Structure 1
Amino acid sequence: MPRSINNTSYRGSSTVAKFCYTIIIAFVCYAVVFIVKNTLENHNAESMESYEFSNYIKKYKKTYNSSEYFRRQKIFERASKDIERLNQMENISIDVDIYGYTKYTDWTSYEFEKNMLLQNTTPISLCKKETREPKPLNQRLLENLPQVVDWRSKGIIGPIVDQKMCRGCWAITVTGATETMVAVDLQKNGTFQHLNLLSIQELIDCSKVNDGCRGGKPSTAVNYLINNKIPIVSQLEYPLKLVDEPCKLHGHPSGVLIKQYKELCNNDEEVMLRHLADVGPLIAAVNAKLWQHYSGGVIRQGCLGNEGYLNHVILIVGYNLTAPVPYYIIKNSWGVDYGDHGYVKVAIGGNVCGIADEVSYIIV
């Protein structure tokens, strides 16, 4: 009997051992599969990011040395996550991304702000900042407006300019607004033939109260021209260089004299829309910090909630009230390979990106 009991114990122990062995093998196999699977997923993700970066540098014709390549790739990968977050922030209900890869995606946010945006934190205009809550648009007033206004359709908006590494958005916008208002007057009296492009470089070089390619303000630039009776000459006469150079105006140059410069501070947006419909384009300061990754569509939220920090000057050339999200048509100065062929759409209502805080227009 003892031997029989021992055999039974042995067989029981053997069964338990086999069971434990099976469990261990299964666990090890699962762990191996898990590790391999995650390794492959990480490898695939890295391969996808490398593939996207490779396509990106081809599209935008980027060139780096070997060490710079990997640094820019890391910046690009971080930016990809920022872009995903920005699109989520916009709460897009349709299958359209507002943010995506741009020619600035391989830049850090610091590089973008330093090279593309105005650095001075004082107001861009003479407006005094007011703290105010966004209010809904007056629908009755909107119904009495043309539903779509686009001054480009009249052939009086100049081509998109690429400011490159010159922070001359203020000069680009002032000349753009001025040449358009000259064309508006010529169209009214039936003598308009073609748009006469004016010299951006003149303002960069000769506006002594501004700082050239290091930045400036439309208000001080235009008031300097008015007070000193200085005309803006044609671009043919004073070509664009996008670098700071000594002023080349001499004697009594012939050009366009600006008569008045009017500012609309802390606006109701219905006032802006009425001006755009009845008079012409508007100069506006905006917070463009997150425009680094703008690729198209209507911006509704993308200003970090800090509309009061205005760092870029643009020209509003129209609006569209019939779109699912009504928007302003903004002429930017970062080239035709940026945004919507050089343009940006910003939602009407809510003072998005501070667009209604510092607005102005020119009378010629």
Structure 2
Amino acid sequence: MRGYQLFEAVLVTVCTLVSPVCCHNVSSEETTLNSTAADFDSFRAKFQRIYEVSGDEYNRRRLFYQNATKRHMYLNSFSTGPQSAKYGINQFSDLSQKEFRDLYLRAIYDRTPLFSGLSLKQLPAKFDWRDKAVVAPVQNQQSCGSCWAFSVVGAIQSVQAIGGSQLEQLSVQQIVDCSYQNEGCDGGSTTRALKWLKQTSVKLVTQSEYPYKAKTGICHFFSQSHGGVVIKNFTAHDFSGQEEAMMGQLVEHGPLAAIVDAVSWQDYLGGIIQHHCSSKWSNHAVLVVGYDTTGEIPYWIVQNSWGTRWGNEGYVYIKIGGNICGIADSAAAVFL
């Protein structure tokens, strides 16, 4: 974790030297607020925080909120280019950085082999699986470190729909409870979950049959005759330095389950992330559903699992090239 600790140390040092500021001209619902008591109370009302004004919890959360506004000045100081990401107040602004990591960044990065296959020729300049109605709506993992399961399920249900089946939300809770090589809400690996699904031929049932509870439970087994989706195989590769090949994999096989460094995403409001993210220190799992290279800054289109009030209605855009946020460190494609 030395690389991450260095980033955090620099961030804390800089933030202690600056005064709170707001970022401007952000067309997101999560608009930046001042760090006054009145604005903190507005934040509490907006995000339905129930801690009492006179209590210690209120003072702790207000301090974290004030610290967040200092972070935003540092993060936004790099965002001077076209379509740059903006950082400000959102639903995570009253969490300390440690709390945020412990609650939401629980994915385990397993090293994958470098991609050595052929790249697709004549890729489209822009491609988005949402345009083909095969990407399910953004979900919310809540206070459960289950991003790894949401990423895997997102890929599976999209590939099933690409194959001609009706798009339906499959059970994340089934993988959280039953993938014994992972730790449920305490974290997990996308590749381990995919290996478990492949080796056991477990039938993934619908979310309505096995609903999400945002906590680890006892695995519920279904009979062999019960319907469900079985994966036949998957591939997981490191596309570092080969993001064009990764684009080809997405076009050819469907949305990709990827692992990223999302430390700075605590404060993300919108725009294209071009800084503040490392590679090889991945801690969060997401679903890459498309890309766009038609503008000045090419970017990946990435579905997150923190609800639609976060980022770009639940999505984040990451610059293509340079392995920003480690987006190419490990990307998995599913085969049914």
TM-score by length of 2: 0.83
Aligned with 1:315 (options 287, 308, 311) = 287
- Counterpart Cα distance in 2 of 1:297 and 1:129: 29
Q: Does 1:290 find its partner at 2:264?
A: yes
Which residue matches 1:212?
Answer: 184
- Counterpart Cα distance in 1 of 2:204 and 2:312: 29
Post-superposition offset of 1:142: 10
Question: What is the identity, as a one-letter code, of the residue corresponding to 1:276?
Answer: L
Name the SS for the 1:202 alignment partner.
helix
Which residue matches 1:347?
Answer: 319
Question: What is the identity, as a one-letter code, of the residue corresponding to 2:230?
Answer: L
CA contact (8 A) 1:210 1:216 kept: yes
Which residue matches 2:90?
Answer: 102
Which residue matches 1:271?
Answer: 245
CA contact (8 A) 2:239 2:245 kept: no
- Which of these two proteins has the greater Rg computed from alpha carbons? 1
- Counterpart Cα distance in 2 of 1:320 and 1:111: 33
CA contact (8 A) 2:107 2:284 kept: no
Q: Does 1:157 find its partner at 2:138?
A: no
- Counterpart Cα distance in 2 of 1:224 and 1:96: 39
CA contact (8 A) 2:303 2:315 kept: yes
Which residue matches 1:57?
Answer: 44
Post-superposition offset of 1:292: 0.3
Post-superposition offset of 1:97: 5.6
- Map 1:119-268 → 2, pairs under 5 A: 120=108, 124-127=109-112, 144-186=122-164, 192=165, 194-252=166-224, 253-267=226-240, 268=242
Question: What is the identity, as a one-letter code, of the residue corresponding to 1:259?
Answer: K
Name the SS for the 2:244 alignment partner.
helix
In terms of fraction of residues, the more helix-rich structure is 1
Question: What is the identity, as a one-letter code, of the residue corresponding to 2:235?
Answer: K
Post-superposition offset of 1:276: 2.0
- Counterpart Cα distance in 2 of 1:88 and 1:229: 49
CA contact (8 A) 2:110 2:191 kept: yes
- Counterpart Cα distance in 1 of 2:234 and 2:91: 34
- Map 1:34-53 → 2, pairs under 5 A: 49-53=36-40
Post-superposition offset of 1:266: 3.9
Most deviating of 61-70 and 154-163: 61-70
Query: What fraction of aligned residue pairs are identical, expressed as a percent?
Result: 35
Which residue matches 1:280?
Answer: 254
Which residue matches 1:326?
Answer: 298
Question: What is the alpha-carbon root mean square deviation over aligned residues?
Answer: 2.3
CA contact (8 A) 2:84 2:272 kept: no
Deviations 1:123-166 (A, max 9, x none): x2341699xxxxxxxxxx99932111111111111111111111
- Counterpart Cα distance in 1 of 2:169 and 2:147: 16
Post-superposition offset of 1:355: 0.8
Unaligned ranges ≥5, structure 2: 1-18, 23-33
Unaligned ranges ≥5, structure 1: 1-41, 131-140, 187-191
Q: Classify 1:247/1:274 alpha carbon distance in 2 versus 1 (closer, same or farther; 3 Å).
A: same
Q: Classify 1:182/1:48 alpha carbon distance in 2 versus 1 (closer, same or farther; 3 Å).
A: closer
Name the SS for the 1:145 alignment partner.
coil
CA contact (8 A) 2:232 2:335 kept: yes
Name the SS for the 1:263 alignment partner.
strand
CA contact (8 A) 2:286 2:304 kept: yes
